[in-house]
Structure 1
Amino acid sequence: MKTLQAPTRTAAILAQLLERLDASRQAVDAHQYRTVAARLSAMLANTDIDWQPLLEQSPAATALYENLHYGDAGLCRSPLDAAMRAEMAACDAIAAARAKPAPDTAAPDAAPAA
């Protein structure tokens, strides 16, 4: 499908559409979703274009971009500091939970036999 719009504008529209599909509370047609994701992925594969402005605005485009370039750069656009803090907080919470004494699990005393 040919378009008269600039590649970055077309990619921005596709990214917005993909985000709408992601956020939809109603069932989304799988073929439509795959088509939009494939078209946006094909555009993001073009290394001659600076995708930085789009990637800063669109989580959906960022996820596709990372997946396309994972072999070269890993999760290069993920917020590493936030992920590290979350992992450390989870480790602290687990350690605190393990340090708490277990609740009394003994059965209540049975009534004396008559």
Structure 2
Amino acid sequence: MKTTHPTPSRADPTSTRVLAALLERLERSSTAVDAQQYRSVVRRLADALGQAEPGAALDAVLAEFPAASQLYENLQYEHAGLCRSPLDPALAAEMQARQW
């Protein structure tokens, strides 16, 4: 009998890019944004980023959309620390966090 192992599903890069663009628009909006809509977009983007294949496509999305990059960094913090932040501000943030 053959044992099959499910392969983890990967997020569609186009969907990830669209969600990242939407989050960026919400972040930069000059008008009030509905909290439920914001949470929904963040939740869906977090799921997409969690399933995204590491590589050039993901790097391009994160480079283009700072809000998505910050969300990705927060999601990866446990494993990689401040992986997408410039070193000096990241080090300063780590030092400040340790002082608390």
Q: TM-score, normalised by structure 1?
A: 0.63
Identify which of 45, 70, 73 aligns with 1:63. Answer: 70
Compare the two structures and name the one with the higher helix fraction.
2
Identify which of 72, 79, 87 aligns with 1:80. Answer: 87
Structure 1 unaligned spans of 5+: 1-5, 88-114
Structure 2 unaligned spans of 5+: 1-10, 93-100
Paired AA for residue 34 in structure 2: D
C-alpha RMSD of matched pairs (Å) = 1.8
Question: Contact 2:23–2:42 at 8 Å: present in 1 too?
Answer: yes
Q: TM-score, normalised by structure 2?
A: 0.71
Sequence identity percentage: 49
Paired positions, count = 79
